[in-house]
């Protein structure tokens, strides 16, 4: 018969250590607290915004969102131009940056020679490290005059009022450079590294066996990328686009510097506009009356709700894609 001694007689454990299960209990407490703190922050911001905006919410109700006149001195507060401005610039930014960013990701992950991959990748990521105000300055002095202006003039001539090609209201009206188009374009540049870098990581994580399967059946490189690698990474790429959208919605400084800051509602990309973040940053110092302050805070509340809703929507999209194409392997 074998006599086994309990381990504890050889290695006596201190009482305190045993009480806390060798540190597992304190560790768990710290982790749970950190999680709750994050949650509390989000809820707290929402509640704070809700409470501090009671003046305009009571007075204006839903018309705050639907009214298009923003005249603080006349106590007219309509947030529609800002909501529309934020949506237009963000969507424009995605329209430009998603194809570019995914294209960069495809190049870096699939086509680029291995020894160029790291340096090029670092350069793309560096783009994300440029401070927003620097992008704004660069936009004012370089990007808008050399890229946006010629592009806008071309669009105006081709598609504007009695344009050469076709008349699109999207490109009507006078064009001076600072516009939705300029803001959307600069946002695209700022969002680009996020989308490109994350999409690249997603594509690099697609198992090599998937590519082998595609090539082994007679796919060209194009077909393998387009029909196997990209669909496999679709949910991850959507995630990258969501992160980009999040940045575009909230971006303040660079947009404020190139959008023109005119609180008007316009269907033309060439006219100047305003975004929610820009108006808060610009006018906070002038908010002399409680109603004015409340109106700006309510714009903040709207932006907050919009971001949360868009994130939820996007998460649903990712989830439904993953559900359709589960990727676990046997």
Partner 1 sequence: MPIASSSARVAISLHGVTIVQQGKGVLPDMNTSPLARENAQSHAPATAGEAAAAVMPKMQTESLSIYYGNFRAVADVTLPVRDRKITAIIGPSGCGKSTLIRSLNRMNDLIAGAHAGGKVMLDGEDIYASGIDVVDIRRRVGMVFQRPNPFPKSIYDNVAFGVRLYGRIPKAELDDIVETSLRRSALWDEVKDKLKQSAMALSGGQQQRLCIARAIAVEPEVILMDEPCSALDPVATLKIEELMQELKQDYAIVIVTHNMQQAARVSDTTAMMMMRADRAGEMIEFDETQIIFTKPRDKRTEDYVSGRFG
Chain residues binding partner 1 by CB under 8 A are: 113-114, 207, 209-220, 223, 227-228, 231-232, 324-330
- Contact between 76 and 69 (Cβ < 8 Å): yes
Contact 85, 180 (CB under 8 A): yes
Nearer CB in complex with partner 1: 103/216: 216
Rg, the chain, Cα only: 26
- What is the C-alpha to C-alpha distance for residues 288 and 291, in angstroms, rounded to an integer? 9
On whether the CB atoms of residues 254 and 136 are closer than 8 A, the answer is: yes
Rounded to a whole number of angstroms, the minimum distance from the CB of residue 312 to partner 1 is: 25
**Shorter beta-carbon distance to partner 1: residue 160 or 233:** 233
| Inter-residue contact 246 to 273 (CB < 8 Å) | no
Q: Which is nearer to partner 1, 59 or 223 (CB)?
A: 223
Q: Which lies closer to partner 1 via its Cβ, residue 145 or residue 207? A: 207
Shortest distance in whole angstroms from residue 112 CB to partner 1: 11
For the CA atoms of 97, 103, 104, 107, what is the dihedral angle to 10 degrees? 180
**Which pairs from 78-81 meet CB under 8 Å and 24+ separation?**
79/276, 79/295, 79/298, 79/299, 79/302, 80/265, 81/263, 81/264, 81/265, 81/273, 81/274
Shortest Cβ distance from residue 223 to partner 1 (Å)? 6
Question: Cβ of residue 310: shortest distance to partner 1, in angstroms?
Answer: 26
Which phi and psi angles does 260 have, rounded to 5°? 100, -25
Shortest distance, position 204 Cβ to partner 1, whole Å: 15
> How far, rounded to the nearest angstrom, does the alpha carbon of residue 124 sit from its chain's CA centroid?
17
Q: Could you tell me the smallest distance in angstroms from the CB atom of residue 216 to partner 1?
A: 4
- Residue closer to partner 1, measured from CB, 74 or 113: 113
What is the smallest separation between the CB atom of 243 and partner 1, expressed in angstroms?
Answer: 23
Task: Read off the tokens for 16.
Answer: 């305190």
Per DSSP, the residues of 158-186 read HHSTT-SS---GGG-S---S-SHHHHHHH
Collapsing DSSP states into helix, strand and coil, what is residue 323? helix
Nearer to partner 1, 213 or 290 (CB): 213
Instruction: Choose between 5 and 329: whose C-beta lies nearer to partner 1.
Output: 329
């Amino acid at each position: 018969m074998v006599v086994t001694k309990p381990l504890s007689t050889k290695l006596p454990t201190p009482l305190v250590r045993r009480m806390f299960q060798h540190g597992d209990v304190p560790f768990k407490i710290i982790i749970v607290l950190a999680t709750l703190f994050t949650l509390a922050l989000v809820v707290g911001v929402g509640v704070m915004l809700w409470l501090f905006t009671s003046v305009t919410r009571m007075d204006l109700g839903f018309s705050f969102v639907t009214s298009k006149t923003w005249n603080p001195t006349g106590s007219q507060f309509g947030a529609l131009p800002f909501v529309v401005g934020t949506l237009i610039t963000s969507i424009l930014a995605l329209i430009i940056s998603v194809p570019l960013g995914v294209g960069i990701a495809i190049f870096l992950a699939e086509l680029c020679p291995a020894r160029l991959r790291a340096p090029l990748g670092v350069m793309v990521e560096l783009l994300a490290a440029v401070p927003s105000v620097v992008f704004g300055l660069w936009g004012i002095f370089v990007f808008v005059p050399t890229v946006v202006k010629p592009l806008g003039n071309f669009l105006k001539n081709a598609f504007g009022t009695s344009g050469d090609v076709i008349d699109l209201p999207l490109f009507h009206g006078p064009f001076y450079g600072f516009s939705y188009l300029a803001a959307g374009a600069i946002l695209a540049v700022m969002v680009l590294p996020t989308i490109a870098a994350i999409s690249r990581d997603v594509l690099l994580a697609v198992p090599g066996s998937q590519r082998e399967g595609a090539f082994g059946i007679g796919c060209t490189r194009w077909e393998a990328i387009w029909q196997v690698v990209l669909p496999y990474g679709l949910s991850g790429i959507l995630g990258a686009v969501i992160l980009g959208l999040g940045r575009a919605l909230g971006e303040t400084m660079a947009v404020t510097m190139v959008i023109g800051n005119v609180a008007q509602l316009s269907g033309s990309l060439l006219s100047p506009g305003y975004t929610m973040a820009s108006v808060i940053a610009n006018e906070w110092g002038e908010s002399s009356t409680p109603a004015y302050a409340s109106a700006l805070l309510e714009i903040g509340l709207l932006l907050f709700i919009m971001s949360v809703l868009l994130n939820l929507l996007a998460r649903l999209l990712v989830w439904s894609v993953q559900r359709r194409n589960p990727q676990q392997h046997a």
